[in-house]
Amino acid sequence: MYLSKKWAILAISISVLVFFLINIEIKSQDIQITDGDTIKIDGEKIRFSGIDTPELKQFCFKENIKNSCGLKAKKILEDKIGKFKVTCIREGEDQYNRTLAECFVNNESLSSFLVRSGYAFAFRRYSKKFIEDENYAKSKKLGMWSMEFDYPWDWRKKN
């Protein structure tokens, strides 16, 4: 009888431990999406490395109709992340003390997704990694490639 009590206590202890480990694992992140290429995870500001998206106040034009391509890039990112967990591979910091990283949802690169959607550009000044994705979007006239636009880095200089 004494031995069966030990086994019962051990089984309960293991069950409680497993319960807490599972709850810790599925605990959600505090994610805020700042714009198309910047997020905050649990308070840490992360800038996607190797890409550049239009600024929130930036517009594009299609058949003389003004489109908020900056807000659209942010919305596409919000929809892609949804309620999924985001994981990032840190690559350093930028001059604004933001973490530079490539981030993923379900093992898919958010940077690659945005560039292939046509709402981000390969930031060739810093990386050659997403050029193929950009060529794909451009050839299919996806996103901003179907509109008249300024590259984000040119828009920032003007504004």
Q: How far apart are CA 14 and CA 31, in angstroms?
A: 32
- For residue 96, what are its two tokens? 């604004």
Assigned domain for 18 exists: no
Assigned domain for 4 exists: no
Q: What is the pLDDT along the chain (159 residues), one digit of tens a residue?
A: 555 666 555 555 554 444 443 333 334 479 999 999 999 999 999 999 999 999 999 999 999 999 999 999 999 999 999 999 999 999 999 988 999 999 999 999 999 999 999 999 999 988 999 999 999 999 999 999 999 999 999 999 999
What's residue 126's pLDDT? 87
Assigned domain for 16 exists: no
What's residue 5's pLDDT? 63
CATH number at residue 64: 2.40.50.90
Assigned domain for 14 exists: no
Q: Are the C-beta atoms of 129 and 122 separated by less than 8 Å?
A: yes
- For residue 84, what are its two tokens? 């999924």
Domain limits for position 137:
31-158
Assigned domain for 24 exists: no
Domain count of the fold of the chain? 1
What's residue 3's pLDDT? 53
Q: Are the C-beta atoms of 49 and 73 separated by less than 8 Å?
A: no
Assigned domain for 1 exists: no
Torsion of CA 15, 18, 19, 25, to 10 degrees: 180
What's residue 16's pLDDT? 44
Assigned domain for 100 exists: yes
Assigned domain for 148 exists: yes
The model carries a pTM of 0.81
